[in-house]
């Protein structure tokens, strides 16, 4: 009877207590790269925090366009915080072991916020489409409430998708190796370590790529096709350039986010990439866009530039007044 029960019993899932994040392979002076990523993280935090502060404090920025910009800054800041500090701690301080639960949490947050960057860029394309193609109806179609509902829906869908992705990882048994050939708890390198069938995880990879890379990019391209068509209907070149200028920042963000990722995928199809090349490309693809996004918006958005100048001018005036007051009062 006992032998029958043991025969019919479902095999238990084997979970390792920890994974070993392998990272780069024998790259000389690789610590300088981690120091560079530390610099990138500091700039990312300062830049996105500044954009969030400006949008939240300036009432004139409480519009659908700037709500999406705020959402992108939040996603950028959270994605960098989930990825870079952990990466620096792992390799710069030789702490490459990570517990199973911590690894799942790291995977969830990195992919959640990076996917939200792609989704937010798509929502921004929708905002520019309505603003240029339907300018007279913009204020009725794209209200703050409408934009809030769209963003909440996107956050909900992305969160549920990532929870499902992590749930499918937890059904795997890891009895071959615990060495992850990546610089963080990457989805692909981890599920390929399983000794039972990982076909559902393999399917999720393609659904993820289609949902958060190809479909958003297709929507963005279609939006700009309609925007280009609308621009040719504007009689004056000045009007066309003025309308196009409102899209320039978004187009730069799209190029910085999508081109490195797509380039890496295309290169992997035709060439055998060294693991170090793949890891450096993907790490830069995750790290650089969150740093560049606030810089591009501050430099290319006239309203933010004017608000920034006004803010620093007020601080300068306040400092001069304080200094004058102290000189009148004199030392105690």
Beta pairing class for 18-21 and 97-99:
antiparallel
Determine, yes or no, domain membership for 315.
Answer: no
How far from each other are the two terminal CA atoms of the chain, in whole angstroms?
Answer: 94
Determine, yes or no, domain membership for 317.
Answer: no
Structurally, how many domains does the chain consist of?
1
CA dihedral over 315, 318, 324, 328, signed as positive or negative = negative
CA distance 192 to 174: 9
Residues 6+ apart with CB under 8 A from 6: none
Structural element, H or E, at residue 64: helix 64-92
Determine, yes or no, domain membership for 111.
Answer: yes
Grouping H, G, I as helix, E, B as strand and the rest as coil, residue 43 is: helix
- Give the pLDDT of the chain (332 residues) as one tens digit per residue: 444 344 444 457 788 999 999 887 777 778 888 889 999 999 999 999 999 999 998 888 899 999 999 999 999 999 999 999 988 888 877 788 999 999 999 999 999 999 999 999 999 999 999 999 998 899 999 999 999 999 999 999 999 999 999 999 999 999 888 999 888 999 999 999 999 889 999 999 999 999 999 999 999 999 999 998 988 887 678 777 877 777 888 999 999 999 888 887 777 777 777 777 778 888 888 999 999 998 888 777 777 777 777 776 765 555 555 565 555 565 55
Determine, yes or no, domain membership for 310.
Answer: no
Determine, yes or no, domain membership for 298.
Answer: yes
Determine, yes or no, domain membership for 6.
Answer: no
Task: Look up residue 278 and give its two tokens.
Answer: 């793949």
For residue 32, count CB atoms less than 10 angstroms from its CB and return exposed for 0-12, middle for 13-18, buried for 19 or more: exposed
Distances (CA, A) of 29 to 35, 44, 87: 11, 24, 16
CA distance 265 to 157: 25
Contact 92, 31 (CB under 8 A): yes
- Its domain, for residue 135, covers 14-302
Whichever domain contains 98, its CATH number is 1.20.1070.10
What is the model's pTM? 0.88
């Amino acid at each position: 009877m006992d032998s029958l029960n043991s025969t019919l019993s479902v095999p238990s899932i084997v979970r390792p207590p920890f994974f070993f994040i392998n990272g780069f392979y024998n790259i000389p002076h690789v610590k300088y790269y981690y120091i560079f990523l530390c610099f990138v993280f500091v700039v990312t935090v300062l830049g996105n925090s500044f954009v969030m502060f400006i949008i939240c404090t300036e009432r004139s920025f409480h519009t659908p366009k700037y709500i999406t910009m705020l959402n992108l800054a939040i996603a950028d800041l959270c994605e960098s915080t989930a990825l870079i500090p952990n990466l620096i701690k792992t390799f710069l301080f030789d702490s490459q072991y990570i517990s199973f639960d911590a690894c799942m949490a790291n995977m969830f947050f990195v992919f959640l916020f990076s996917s939200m960057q792609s989704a937010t860029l798509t929502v921004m394309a929708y905002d520019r489409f309505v603003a240029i193609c339907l300018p007279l109806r913009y204020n009725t179609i794209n209200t703050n409430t409408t934009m809030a509902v769209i963003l909440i829906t996107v956050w909900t869908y992305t969160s549920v998708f990532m929870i499902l992705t992590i749930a499918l990882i937890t059904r795997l048994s890891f009895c071959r190796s615990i060495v992850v050939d990546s610089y963080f708890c990457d989805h692909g390198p981890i599920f390929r370590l399983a000794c039972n069938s990982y076909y559902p995880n393999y399917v999720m990879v393609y659904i993820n790529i289609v949902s958060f890379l190809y479909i958003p990019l297709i929507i963005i391209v279609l939006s700009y096709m309609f925007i280009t068509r609308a621009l040719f209907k504007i009689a004056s070149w000045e009007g066309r350039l003025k309308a196009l200028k409102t899209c320039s920042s978004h187009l730069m963000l799209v190029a910085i986010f999508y081109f490195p990722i797509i380039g890496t995928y295309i290169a992997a199809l035709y060439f055998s990439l060294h693991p170090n090349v793949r890891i450096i490309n993907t790490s830069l693809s995750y790290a650089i866009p969150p740093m560049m996004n606030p810089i591009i918006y501050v430099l290319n958005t006239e309203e933010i530039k004017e608000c920034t100048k006004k803010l620093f001018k007020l601080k300068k005036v306040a400092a001069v007044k304080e200094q004058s007051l102290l000189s009148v009062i004199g030392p105690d």
